[in-house]
Amino acid sequence: MEQLPLWAQIGAIFLLLVCSSFFSISETAMMALNRHRLKHLANQGALGAKTTQGLLAQTDRLLSVILIGNNLFNTIIPVLTTSIALHTFGRDNVVLSIATGMVAFLIIVFAEITPKIVGATYPEKIALPASLLIAPLMRVARPVIWFVNLFANGILRVLHINTKGEREQRLSTEELRTIVLESGSFMPTKHRSILLNLFDLENISVDDVMIPRRRIEALDFDAPFEQILHQLETCYHNKLIVYQGDIDRVLGVLHVRKTLSALHNQELERETLRELLAEPYFVPTGTPVFQQLQYFQESRQRTALVVNEYGELQGLVTPEDIIEELIGEFTTSIPRSASSRGGWNDDGECIVAGSMPLRELNRWLHLTLPTDGPKTLNGLILEMLEEIPEGDVCLRIGDVKLEVMRSDDQAVRTVKLFRPGLAPKSKPKKGQLA
């Protein structure tokens, strides 16, 4: 080495620094690589993806070859630097100390910190091409790796550390939700919204998506026949619940289109109407939405009546109600009034019915009202006030201000909502909550 010119010896030092930095950057990039993204790249046939997968499948050997190479070069660099200093300046302790400090600085900055920062920042761009060099090195250095791992594995066994466990990374639902939320511009907003709603289906029941009892359009079998015919001709739905006297006494489900067709072909009578009824399909309250969707597929039913433990009708749910939880409203149900169709008005206000389900209200007006308790806006207000308000009352729930506009002895009927961030124009009266 002493026969080489000084510039060649210095060049050799920098070449060794480059080699050391290669192992440092490769180590960090390999460990920081997203395994799920890597699997996708391998399926797409990306260059180096399958090789990288193979290396990460044997992490102990991968780390061995990287650390052996890294430490080998980091050991040679100070030896070579000391040799140059001795040959150039002689045995001067001050010069040797300065040379040692400079080498330590060069190794820390150029062979450790900088490469590892870059590797952690761009793991995919670095790990895949680097694997094409590390894979043959691993095959060549197999005997050395085996010898080193013999001692390393012995220490791990003494410490009772098992490295043969499940290495596959598994994500929980909440972790997947976080990934979707952080996808940002990589995923269209609508797609991200559908995925988040899909995760929510695991935590809700039919009570959250059903049409409440008060909003069910049903047909009273005992009503005057002219009234029945008028309701059939003007109803908004293709299927109607038919009951006798009380809505808890459900006779069946009537297919309106088939009934009107029979009306045109023959004179419709009550007994004919009874023969057209399909058997009602009942489900208990609290049934998970995902499970109910599966029941719809298996039973080929389109309408389910939700009943409580006493057999009382609580609501009605259809596959469309569940699908709307995923993608938003799309069915042609009873239209909203002209004033509510557009949501917030120019003053940041919106008037809604107290019976409106909270999940539908949150989705429609982009609010965050709590849905883990009562299912309707009326229920939420009554829970907050612990009584039925007798007059106009203003209150705040979370970041939403509300004003009860109309109520009776049974429930809150009409509520005015104020868009979060805007102060209501009407001032609360004395004794009101705000």
The answer to pTM > 0.75 is no
Look up the CATH number of the domain holding residue 275. Answer: 3.10.580.10
In the predicted structure, residue 432 carries a pLDDT above the cut 50: no
Q: Which domain holds residue 350?
A: 338-418
Same domain, 237 and 371: no
Angstrom distances, CA of residue 298 to CA of 134, 241, 302: 53, 22, 11
Whether residue 376 is contained in a domain is answered as yes
Residues 112, 211 within the same domain = no
Domain membership flag for residue 237: yes
Tens-place pLDDT, residues 328-377: 766 544 444 434 445 788 888 899 888 888 888 887 888 888 888 888 88
279 in a structural domain = yes
What pLDDT, on the 0 to 100 scale, is given for residue 265?
63
Residues 154 and 16 in one domain: yes
What local confidence, expressed as pLDDT, does residue 1 receive?
A: 52
Are 26 and 92 in the same domain? yes
Same domain as 215, residue 106: no
Q: Is the pLDDT of residue 245 over 70?
A: yes
Contact 307, 282 (CB under 8 A): yes
Local confidence band at 26 (pLDDT 50, 70, 90 cut-offs): very high
Could you give the number of structural domains in the chain? 3
Statement to judge: residues 308 and 269 lie in one domain: yes
The domain boundary, picked from 327, 347, 363, lies at 327
φ/ψ of 190, rounded to 5, equals -65, -40
Q: pLDDT class for 165, splitting at 50, 70, 90?
A: low
Is 433 part of a structural domain of the chain? no
User: Does 193 map to a domain?
Assistant: no
Residue 434 lies in a domain: no
49 and 145 together in one domain = yes
Place of tokens 């961030």: 421
Residue 434 has pLDDT above 70, yes or no: no
User: Is there a single domain that holds both residue 379 and residue 314?
Assistant: no
Domain CATH code at residue 347:
3.30.465.10
Q: How far apart are the C-alpha atoms of 430 and 107, rounded to whole Å?
A: 74
Shared domain for 94 and 229, answered yes or no, is no
Which residues, at least 6 apart from 415, have a Cβ–Cβ distance to it below 8 Å?
Answer: 351, 352, 353, 354, 377, 381, 402, 403, 404, 405
In a domain? residue 175: no
| Statement to judge: residues 294 and 346 lie in one domain | no
